Amino acid sequence: MHELDCDVTHVGSADDSDVLLQGADPLHARIVHDTADEYVLEMIGRGETSSGPNEVLRTGARFTAGPWRLVYTRDEFADHGRPYGGRSGGEGAHQRPQPPRPDYASEHPSDSLTRCELKKPDETSSANQIAIRRSVLVDATADAVDARGFEFRVVNDQHAGLYEAIVDNSSIGGVTYNLIGDDRIVLLAVSVFPEFRGQGIATGLIHRVLDDVRAQGRTVTNYCPVVAAFIDEHPAYADLINHEHPGAYAARRRS
Protein backbone atom coordinates (compact mmCIF):
# COMPACT_ATOMS: atom_id res chain seq x y z
CA MET A 1 0.00 0.00 0.00
CA HIS A 2 1.44 3.36 -1.05
CA GLU A 3 0.18 6.54 0.59
CA LEU A 4 -0.34 9.49 -1.77
CA ASP A 5 0.57 12.27 0.65
CA CYS A 6 2.42 14.57 -1.78
CA ASP A 7 1.04 17.08 -4.27
CA VAL A 8 3.06 15.44 -7.07
CA THR A 9 3.89 11.73 -6.88
CA HIS A 10 6.40 10.08 -9.21
CA VAL A 11 5.82 6.40 -9.93
CA GLY A 12 8.67 4.38 -11.41
CA SER A 13 11.93 2.55 -10.87
CA ALA A 14 14.22 5.58 -10.42
CA ASP A 15 15.87 5.76 -7.01
CA ASP A 16 14.10 9.02 -6.18
CA SER A 17 10.62 7.74 -7.10
CA ASP A 18 7.92 8.42 -4.52
CA VAL A 19 6.38 5.03 -5.38
CA LEU A 20 9.34 2.78 -6.20
CA LEU A 21 8.45 -0.10 -8.54
CA GLN A 22 11.22 -2.37 -9.77
CA GLY A 23 10.69 -3.35 -13.39
CA ALA A 24 8.82 -0.17 -14.32
CA ASP A 25 10.25 2.70 -16.38
CA PRO A 26 12.40 5.19 -14.42
CA LEU A 27 9.44 7.61 -14.51
CA HIS A 28 6.44 5.54 -15.50
CA ALA A 29 3.62 7.77 -14.28
CA ARG A 30 2.95 11.00 -12.43
CA ILE A 31 0.00 11.65 -10.10
CA VAL A 32 -0.88 15.28 -9.35
CA HIS A 33 -3.09 16.25 -6.42
CA ASP A 34 -4.52 19.40 -8.01
CA THR A 35 -6.19 22.54 -6.70
CA ALA A 36 -9.66 20.97 -7.06
CA ASP A 37 -8.69 18.14 -4.65
CA GLU A 38 -8.55 15.66 -7.52
CA TYR A 39 -5.79 13.11 -8.09
CA VAL A 40 -4.89 13.17 -11.80
CA LEU A 41 -2.90 10.36 -13.40
CA GLU A 42 -0.48 11.13 -16.23
CA MET A 43 0.94 8.01 -17.87
CA ILE A 44 4.46 8.54 -19.22
CA GLY A 45 5.44 4.92 -19.82
CA ARG A 46 3.29 2.27 -21.46
CA GLY A 47 0.54 0.64 -19.45
CA GLU A 48 -3.14 -0.14 -19.16
CA THR A 49 -5.46 2.39 -17.52
CA SER A 50 -9.14 2.59 -16.65
CA SER A 51 -10.03 5.33 -19.13
CA GLY A 52 -6.96 6.76 -20.87
CA PRO A 53 -3.39 8.01 -20.38
CA ASN A 54 -4.59 11.11 -18.52
CA GLU A 55 -7.48 10.64 -16.13
CA VAL A 56 -8.96 11.87 -12.88
CA LEU A 57 -8.64 8.92 -10.52
CA ARG A 58 -11.68 7.50 -8.76
CA THR A 59 -11.79 4.68 -6.23
CA GLY A 60 -11.32 1.45 -8.16
CA ALA A 61 -9.34 3.07 -10.99
CA ARG A 62 -6.35 0.95 -12.01
CA PHE A 63 -3.24 1.21 -14.11
CA THR A 64 -0.23 -0.94 -14.87
CA ALA A 65 3.45 -0.03 -14.72
CA GLY A 66 5.74 -2.78 -15.94
CA PRO A 67 4.79 -5.94 -13.98
CA TRP A 68 2.79 -3.96 -11.42
CA ARG A 69 -0.99 -3.54 -11.39
CA LEU A 70 -2.06 -0.72 -9.09
CA VAL A 71 -5.51 0.21 -7.81
CA TYR A 72 -6.41 3.66 -6.51
CA THR A 73 -8.71 4.18 -3.54
CA ARG A 74 -9.71 7.16 -1.42
CA ASP A 75 -12.50 8.31 0.84
CA GLU A 76 -14.48 10.26 -1.74
CA PHE A 77 -16.66 13.33 -1.33
CA ALA A 78 -20.23 13.19 -2.59
CA ASP A 79 -19.50 15.50 -5.52
CA HIS A 80 -16.83 13.14 -6.85
CA GLY A 81 -19.54 11.36 -8.81
CA ARG A 82 -21.12 7.93 -9.12
CA PRO A 83 -20.70 5.17 -8.18
CA TYR A 84 -17.97 6.15 -5.71
CA GLY A 85 -18.98 9.64 -4.70
CA GLY A 86 -19.01 10.32 -1.04
CA ARG A 87 -20.30 8.75 2.11
CA SER A 88 -23.42 10.88 1.79
CA GLY A 89 -24.89 11.42 -1.65
CA GLY A 90 -23.16 8.62 -3.55
CA GLU A 91 -24.85 5.81 -5.45
CA GLY A 92 -25.00 3.29 -2.64
CA ALA A 93 -27.05 3.21 0.50
CA HIS A 94 -25.64 2.56 3.98
CA GLN A 95 -22.97 5.25 3.68
CA ARG A 96 -21.46 7.00 6.66
CA PRO A 97 -22.10 10.79 6.77
CA GLN A 98 -19.36 13.27 5.97
CA PRO A 99 -18.86 16.97 6.66
CA PRO A 100 -19.19 19.55 3.86
CA ARG A 101 -16.27 19.52 1.46
CA PRO A 102 -13.61 22.10 2.46
CA ASP A 103 -12.42 24.85 0.14
CA TYR A 104 -9.36 22.93 -0.97
CA ALA A 105 -8.19 25.42 -3.63
CA SER A 106 -7.60 28.19 -1.08
CA GLU A 107 -5.34 25.88 0.94
CA HIS A 108 -3.48 24.44 -2.07
CA PRO A 109 -2.77 27.20 -4.60
CA SER A 110 -1.40 26.01 -7.93
CA ASP A 111 2.02 27.55 -7.30
CA SER A 112 2.47 25.32 -4.22
CA LEU A 113 2.05 21.99 -6.01
CA THR A 114 5.36 20.13 -6.11
CA ARG A 115 7.04 16.94 -4.94
CA CYS A 116 7.47 16.46 -1.19
CA GLU A 117 11.25 16.42 -1.24
CA LEU A 118 11.28 19.73 -3.12
CA LYS A 119 9.25 21.55 -0.48
CA LYS A 120 10.81 23.58 2.25
CA PRO A 121 10.70 21.87 5.67
CA ASP A 122 8.04 24.19 7.00
CA GLU A 123 5.91 23.63 3.90
CA THR A 124 6.19 19.85 4.06
CA SER A 125 4.86 19.75 7.61
CA SER A 126 2.27 22.48 7.11
CA ALA A 127 -1.35 21.58 7.78
CA ASN A 128 -2.16 23.24 4.46
CA GLN A 129 -0.30 20.48 2.65
CA ILE A 130 -2.22 17.59 4.23
CA ALA A 131 -4.73 15.82 1.98
CA ILE A 132 -8.34 16.28 2.99
CA ARG A 133 -9.06 12.57 2.60
CA ARG A 134 -6.68 9.60 2.66
CA SER A 135 -5.65 8.36 -0.79
CA VAL A 136 -3.58 5.27 -1.55
CA LEU A 137 -2.33 3.02 -4.33
CA VAL A 138 -2.68 -0.69 -3.62
CA ASP A 139 -0.72 -3.41 -5.41
CA ALA A 140 -3.42 -5.66 -6.87
CA THR A 141 -1.07 -8.67 -6.86
CA ALA A 142 0.22 -8.21 -3.29
CA ASP A 143 -1.46 -11.38 -2.00
CA ALA A 144 -1.19 -14.65 -3.87
CA VAL A 145 -4.59 -15.98 -4.96
CA ASP A 146 -4.00 -19.43 -3.46
CA ALA A 147 -1.58 -18.65 -0.62
CA ARG A 148 -1.88 -20.68 2.57
CA GLY A 149 -4.64 -19.46 4.86
CA PHE A 150 -4.27 -17.24 7.93
CA GLU A 151 -6.70 -17.29 10.85
CA PHE A 152 -8.82 -14.15 11.21
CA ARG A 153 -12.44 -13.16 11.74
CA VAL A 154 -14.52 -10.99 9.43
CA VAL A 155 -16.79 -8.15 10.55
CA ASN A 156 -19.28 -6.65 8.11
CA ASP A 157 -19.79 -2.96 8.88
CA GLN A 158 -22.67 -1.97 6.59
CA HIS A 159 -22.66 1.59 7.90
CA ALA A 160 -19.06 2.05 6.73
CA GLY A 161 -19.38 -0.19 3.67
CA LEU A 162 -16.52 -2.44 4.81
CA TYR A 163 -15.86 -6.12 5.35
CA GLU A 164 -12.95 -5.99 7.80
CA ALA A 165 -10.45 -8.77 8.57
CA ILE A 166 -9.67 -8.76 12.32
CA VAL A 167 -6.90 -10.44 14.33
CA ASP A 168 -6.68 -9.85 18.09
CA ASN A 169 -9.08 -6.89 17.81
CA SER A 170 -6.85 -5.19 15.20
CA SER A 171 -7.69 -4.65 11.55
CA ILE A 172 -5.35 -6.34 9.08
CA GLY A 173 -7.25 -5.67 5.86
CA GLY A 174 -10.64 -5.24 4.31
CA VAL A 175 -12.98 -5.12 1.33
CA THR A 176 -14.77 -1.83 0.66
CA TYR A 177 -18.19 -1.87 -0.97
CA ASN A 178 -21.44 -0.05 -1.73
CA LEU A 179 -24.89 -1.62 -1.45
CA ILE A 180 -27.24 -0.99 -4.37
CA GLY A 181 -30.82 -1.59 -3.39
CA ASP A 182 -31.63 -4.91 -1.77
CA ASP A 183 -30.09 -7.23 -4.33
CA ARG A 184 -26.68 -5.94 -5.48
CA ILE A 185 -23.30 -5.12 -3.94
CA VAL A 186 -20.51 -3.14 -5.60
CA LEU A 187 -17.08 -4.45 -4.56
CA LEU A 188 -14.58 -1.61 -4.77
CA ALA A 189 -11.18 -2.73 -3.49
CA VAL A 190 -9.37 -5.31 -1.39
CA SER A 191 -6.48 -4.18 0.79
CA VAL A 192 -4.18 -6.01 3.20
CA PHE A 193 -1.65 -4.30 5.46
CA PRO A 194 1.89 -4.93 4.16
CA GLU A 195 3.08 -6.97 7.14
CA PHE A 196 0.24 -9.49 6.59
CA ARG A 197 0.57 -9.93 2.84
CA GLY A 198 1.53 -13.23 1.24
CA GLN A 199 -0.37 -15.24 3.88
CA GLY A 200 -3.64 -15.72 2.04
CA ILE A 201 -5.52 -12.89 3.78
CA ALA A 202 -7.03 -11.51 0.59
CA THR A 203 -7.98 -14.99 -0.63
CA GLY A 204 -9.66 -15.97 2.62
CA LEU A 205 -11.39 -12.62 2.93
CA ILE A 206 -12.79 -12.75 -0.61
CA HIS A 207 -13.99 -16.32 -0.02
CA ARG A 208 -15.96 -15.24 3.02
CA VAL A 209 -17.27 -12.02 1.48
CA LEU A 210 -18.59 -13.83 -1.60
CA ASP A 211 -20.11 -16.58 0.58
CA ASP A 212 -21.89 -13.88 2.60
CA VAL A 213 -23.06 -12.12 -0.58
CA ARG A 214 -24.51 -15.41 -1.85
CA ALA A 215 -26.24 -16.03 1.49
CA GLN A 216 -27.85 -12.58 1.24
CA GLY A 217 -29.13 -13.35 -2.27
CA ARG A 218 -27.20 -10.45 -3.82
CA THR A 219 -25.31 -10.19 -7.09
CA VAL A 220 -21.93 -8.51 -7.54
CA THR A 221 -20.71 -5.54 -9.52
CA ASN A 222 -16.94 -5.85 -9.28
CA TYR A 223 -14.35 -3.08 -9.64
CA CYS A 224 -11.51 -4.91 -7.90
CA PRO A 225 -8.84 -6.81 -9.92
CA VAL A 226 -8.00 -9.01 -6.93
CA VAL A 227 -11.60 -10.21 -6.76
CA ALA A 228 -11.60 -10.77 -10.53
CA ALA A 229 -8.44 -12.89 -10.29
CA PHE A 230 -9.99 -14.85 -7.43
CA ILE A 231 -13.17 -15.60 -9.39
CA ASP A 232 -11.08 -16.64 -12.39
CA GLU A 233 -9.41 -19.21 -10.15
CA HIS A 234 -12.67 -20.16 -8.41
CA PRO A 235 -15.32 -20.15 -11.19
CA ALA A 236 -17.99 -21.48 -8.85
CA TYR A 237 -18.42 -17.85 -7.79
CA ALA A 238 -18.79 -16.52 -11.36
CA ASP A 239 -22.57 -16.76 -11.22
CA LEU A 240 -22.57 -13.97 -8.62
CA ILE A 241 -21.46 -11.39 -11.20
CA ASN A 242 -24.42 -9.24 -12.23
CA HIS A 243 -24.88 -9.65 -15.98
CA GLU A 244 -26.28 -6.16 -16.55
CA HIS A 245 -23.78 -4.42 -14.25
CA PRO A 246 -20.62 -6.56 -14.16
CA GLY A 247 -18.30 -3.63 -13.37
CA ALA A 248 -14.88 -2.75 -14.69
CA TYR A 249 -13.34 -6.04 -13.55
CA ALA A 250 -15.91 -8.64 -14.57
CA ALA A 251 -14.31 -12.06 -14.26
CA ARG A 252 -13.50 -13.68 -17.58
CA ARG A 253 -16.07 -16.30 -18.54
CA ARG A 254 -14.61 -19.78 -18.93
CA SER A 255 -15.74 -21.95 -21.81
What pLDDT, in 10s, does the model give residues 13-58? 999 898 888 899 999 999 998 887 888 999 999 998 877 888 888 7
Task: Give the chain's domains with CATH numbers.
Answer: 2-139 (2.60.200.20), 153-240 (3.40.630.30)
For the residues 162-182, what does the mean pLDDT come to?
90
Contact call for residues 185 and 218 (beta carbons, < 8 A): yes
Euclidean distance between CA atoms 218 and 214, whole angstroms: 6
Q: Whole-model pTM?
A: 0.52
What are φ and ψ of residue 117, in 5° steps? -70, -10
Query: Using CA atoms, how far apart are residues 11 and 36, in angstroms rounded to an integer?
Result: 21
Please say if the pLDDT value at position 169 is more than 80: yes
